[in-house]
Amino acid sequence: MELTELIKQFVRKQTLVVSHYPRGHLTLAGALCGLVLVLLVLPLGGDDLEPNGRAEIVLDMDLSPKQEQPDALALSDFVMPLQATPQIEVQPVLEDVTLWRNIEVKSGDNLSSIFSKVGLSDQDLFRVLNSSDEAKVLNQVYPGYQLDFLIPVNVDGKGELEQLRLLKSPLEGFLFTLNNNNYDVESILNFPQLRPTFKVGTIADSLFMAGQREQIPAVTIMEMANIFGGVIDFILDPRAGDDFSILYDEKYLDGEFIGHGDILATQYTNQGKTFTAVRYINEEGEAGYYNAEGESMRKAFLRSPLDVFRISSNFNPSRRHPILNTIRAHKGTDYAAPRGTPIRATSDGQVTRASRNGSFGNLVIVKHAGGFETKYAHLSKYANGVKKGKRVRQGDIIGYVGTTGSATGPHLHYEFLMGGVHQNPRTIIDKLPKAESIDPAEMDSFRTQTADLLKRFSDMNSTTFITLNQPSAD
């Protein structure tokens, strides 16, 4: 082996040793290696000395295998065997993982399928439903409700329903909590922050289009039409240029908008005549709308049972029947409207019929105090809970426009009877008295509750309409 290769091997071994052993041991090992090298390359005789006394180093490149070399110290003589690092066994930490599962109830869902979605069985459902009488509220779950499941799951993937939260809305619900193999039930009631919102609009085509332009919720516009329903027919009476204003609450929970609240005050100017209504809660806790003098805005009957319609056939004792082609009295008014349009009870009363009846198709009849009766025919379906004996209030939805019976198209046939005699529902309304107004003994309470609101509403109207009527600068 050449000297160059020996030197390279030495350097590599030296580097390895330096990285593993103390400096003192390395110094001793280095001295021993140097001594071995000297013995290998230097002759022991004095004949090879130069005259000046210096030794001449002769490198014999012909290193024959027959030459005997002194045994060199192997690197293994200095290397201590490394002990294996003991392996530490890591034990898994058994912890429960808490999981909330949130499900919104959709049309066609049932409790069994919902429980299955979150990994619970029918036995789990049975256990909840039969834990207490209050748990029966789960039998009345409707689309839009939210069910939240709290299920702590262990490492084996098994869990038990610890809590179930049923939310009818962000403000109302029930909480089921596991307690000794049963579930305790408590009500959830949240109270929103109310923020008054003021909007104005001008009629160019219809009230609903005007509300849409001003980004007023459709439900709020419909409620305003209902408030003025005893004095204004919002299909026939409005004219281009009519204006309106409305002050209503918006609901917030934890800073998040959750819906629209009640109308506080509203005003409508129809063909130069202004109507103003303010909300008042009487001593019995019932809310109603009145003008500034405490007179009710409600007539005994609404002018129409629909919010969106056109009159396709008026009351006519001599009308020619469109199918039979014979002179046959038309004892009511036909309101053409899209299929599914909600139909409202025009006054308080009791349902005496909600079933199919020949050419009327699906029919609802409501009996009212004072010998009055109203009929609603050709319905596509009845509203939830509407059946014989059901009490309804003015404005309640009792059914939906359809084409059942002998209808030639989607419309509502509406009849009005007084003492068993058919009357023209569009003209009889003006002959009927208004609903009861504020009792004189309660007028002080009415003024106390509404005075500040009416003043604030009046100021808003004055400021807004003055601004709107100012000419723009060219």
Closest CA to 350 of 332, 335, 369: 369
pLDDT surpasses 70 at 265: yes
Average pLDDT along the chain = 79
The residue type at 313: S
192-298+434-469 topology per CATH: Nuclear Transport Factor 2; Chain: A, (3.10.450)
Which of residues 87 and 271 earns the better pLDDT score?
A: 271
CA distances from 60 to 11, 40, 55 (A): 22, 10, 15
Q: Which CATH architecture has domain 310-431?
A: Distorted Sandwich (2.70)
What are the pLDDT digits (tens) for 100-148?
889 999 988 889 999 998 888 899 999 999 888 888 888 888 899 999 9
97-189 topology per CATH: Nuclear Transport Factor 2; Chain: A, (3.10.450)
What are the pLDDT digits (tens) for 336-350?
889 999 999 998 999
Rounded Cα distance, 266 and 279, in Å = 9
Answer whether 97-189 and 310-431 agree in fold. no
Report the b/e string of 40-77 with b at 16+ CB within 10 A. eeeeeeeeeeeeeeeeeeeeeeeeeeeeeeeeeeeeee
Confidence band for 453, pLDDT divided at 50, 70 and 90? very high
Answer whether 0.85 is exceeded by the pTM. Answer: no
**Taking the domains of the chain in order of start, what are their residue ranges?**
3-62+69-77, 97-189, 192-298+434-469, 310-431
pLDDT surpasses 60 at 16: no
Rounded Cα distance, 307 and 304, in Å = 8
